[in-house]
Amino acid sequence: MMILLDWLFTLLHLIIIGFNLFGWIWPATRKAHLLVVALTLSCWLILGIWYGIGYCPVTDWQWQIKEKLGETDLPNSFVKYYADKISGQKVSSSFIDAITAISFAAAIMMTVYVNFIKKRLPN
């Protein structure tokens, strides 16, 4: 059961990350994208006050499952965990955090543009 939950949380993570990065592209998903980006940023910054900047409840829940499965020394970041796993190397946390922040900032700029600025520009 725990292995299935781990897989489901991995899938959920990948969906959230993909949607955060690319959900602004399609007009039908732009409002939902704005909401998901706002929720993600709120978790990272507001919940981050108590749990550490960049806190993600999905990662927290998944790490609890991974610990029950016997995994130890889990990083703070889902992205770092999979970067290490895929590359077979210990990728720098600072590098992962920088790439994550830059990518997320770009997605925020795009969602603000398509949801607010583009609508106000004359055709």
CA angle 83/54/38 to nearest 5° reads 110
Q: How far apart are CA 74 and CA 94, in angstroms?
A: 16
Number of structural domains the chain divides into: 1
pLDDT at residue 123 tops 70: no
Alpha helices in 43-115 (DSSP H): 48-51, 57-68, 78-87, 93-112
**Nearby residues of 111 by Cβ (< 8 Å), 6 or more positions away:** 23, 24, 30, 33, 34, 37
Write out pLDDT tens, residues 49-62.
999 999 999 999 99
Domain region containing 32: 2-120
pTM of the model as a whole: 0.93
